[in-house]
Amino acid sequence: MLIVKKFGGSSVANKERILNVAARCAEDYKRGIQVVVVLSAMGDTTDRLINLAHDINPNAPKREMDMLLATGEQTSVALMAMAFHGMGIPAISLNAFQVVMHTTSTYSNARFKRIDSERITHELDSGKIVIVTGFQGVNKRDDVTTLGRGGSDTTAVALAAALRADACEIYTDVEGVYTADPRVVEGARKIKEITYDEMLELATLGAKVLHNRSVELAKKYGVALVVRSSMNKASGTTVKEVTQVEGMLVSGVAVDKNTARIAIMGVKNEPGIAFKVFDVLAKGNINVDMILQSIGRDGTKDISFTVDKEDAKEAVALLKDNQARLTIESIKEEKNVAKLSVVGAGMQTNAGVAAKMFEALYDVGVNIRMIATSEIRITVLIDLEDVDIAMRAVHNKFIDD
Ligand code: ASP
Ligand code: MG
């Protein structure tokens, strides 16, 4: 039996926690289970490294950022190996180069292409616990890449798939996936089981508990994921293909504050304009999420859409560069907005979910600025200041505790 266990930054934030993780992994090891440990950087190390870099050069090349950020995970795995050695357990730390974990070339946002399993398998077979750096890879230029913030989850799932592990456990500082952020919503409760599709929507829409690409990979390779706490033995949340739906219309509510709304006004109401606008953004590698187009009047129309906050500046610059060609009269950018989403597989077969959500928002006087839907989610764009009250209202409407 082989288990991949991933521990997040808070779970390895200091000496006590590192020793706690080692002790926990040792329990399985002593039962004869082969253990691969994937680690994040300790505590807020990655944030500190980013600040350090920005202090020296706010426009640091992404290649150098990856070179820097990858050191955080390398610190964790070396210390963890030392902890195991201190307990008399054979262990070895490996970085992405040593494994090798091959990724695409895109610095700061690389994706796994292939993982060589020989080295890890060899170390496991010689009786060691293998500790692997999360979040990083190697590209075809033999450069270090990183997978984007929160990417260690994806390392764990990719390894579980490559090694055909029997389980992939994601340990964090909360007990699992919740119906809403428990720090904001009092009645939020732990979800026992959730489908890949629901989890993917939640992760993409702001629930920080899992990196969205890890869920994508888990679905693709059928890796059953368990999210649980490193601080206690509570059972956690299982993410898998099909769940025993508990008759719930909505599985969870998520908030994404990392969004900005851009509006382009007065563009020509003719074929091809939307294509040209979004083509400019796509070529600039900017992901667009919600899109709203107004009804045309006097031969013109307005289009508004949302992008990640950090992309807003570049998006506006790109549009300005092409303003004449895109027939844009004026551009407006708003950052004080947030996305609130409800997600649930039960929506596919039940009418009235949108109405119920909008009613909850109406009840607390929250204005909706944009709406987007998929088969299993409804997202609204609201004012940032309304987020907490809106999340509580919507949660309480769907999920009774
Ligand atoms: N250390 C990286 C981050 O803080 C990756 C991770 O923790 O998953 O984003
Ligand atoms: Mg994380």
Pocket of ligand 1 (CB under 6 A): 8-9, 40-41, 46, 72, 134-135, 149-152
pLDDT of 200 higher than 70: yes
pLDDT of 244 higher than 80: no
Q: Which two structure tokens, joined as six digits, stand for 184?
A: 């904001």
What is the three-class DSSP state of 207? coil
The torsion angle over the Cα atoms of residues 215, 217, 221 and 224, rounded to 10 degrees, is -30
**Ligand 1 atom nearest to 135, measured from its CA:** 5
Residue 329 CA to its chain's centroid (Å): 36
List, edge to edge, every strand of the sheet that includes 337-343. 252-256, 337-343, 377-383, 370-374
Which residue puts its alpha carbon closest to atom 6 of ligand 1?
Answer: 150
Which residue puts its alpha carbon closest to atom 8 of ligand 1?
Answer: 150
Q: Give the type of residue at 11.
A: S
String of DSSP letters for 325-371: TTT-SEEEEE-SEEEEEEE-GGGGG-S-HHHHHHHHHHHTTPPP-EE
**Interatomic CA distance for residues 74 and 66, integer angstroms:** 12
56 φ/ψ sector (left φ>0, alpha ψ -120 to 50, else beta): alpha
- Give per-residue pLDDT as tens, 354-383: 999 999 999 999 999 999 999 999 999 999
Q: Which ligand is nearest to the CA of 47?
A: 1
Q: What mean pLDDT, rounded, does the chain reach?
A: 95
Q: Which ligand is nearest to the CA of 207?
A: 2
**Interatomic CA distance for residues 251 and 30, integer angstroms:** 37
**Interatomic CA distance for residues 208 and 23, integer angstroms:** 26
- In the DSSP assignment, the letter for residue 106 is -
pLDDT at 338: 98
**Ligand 1 atom nearest to 47, measured from its CA:** 4
- In the DSSP assignment, the letter for residue 12 is G
Cα of 6 to ligand 1 centre, how many Å?
A: 12
- Give per-residue pLDDT as tens, 85-98: 999 999 999 999 99
Q: Using an 8 Å Cβ cutoff, are 237 and 170 in contact?
A: no
Cα of 8 to ligand 1 centre, how many Å?
A: 7
pLDDT at 207: 84
What is the three-class DSSP state of 261? strand
Mean pLDDT of 171-176: 94
Q: Which candidate, 241, 366, 263, places its Cα nearest to that of 312?
A: 263
pTM recorded for the entire structure = 0.90
Query: pLDDT higher for 196 or 247?
Result: 196
**Ligand 1 atom nearest to 151, measured from its CA:** 8
Phi, psi of 131, deg, nearest 5:
-115, 120
Which of 39, 77, 95, 149 has most ligand 1 atoms within 8 Å of its beta carbon, as the pocket-test mutant?
149
Residues 6+ positions from 132 with CB-CB distance below 8 Å: 36, 37, 38, 39, 77, 93, 94, 95, 96, 99, 101, 120, 155, 159
- Give per-residue pLDDT as tens, 96-106: 999 999 999 99
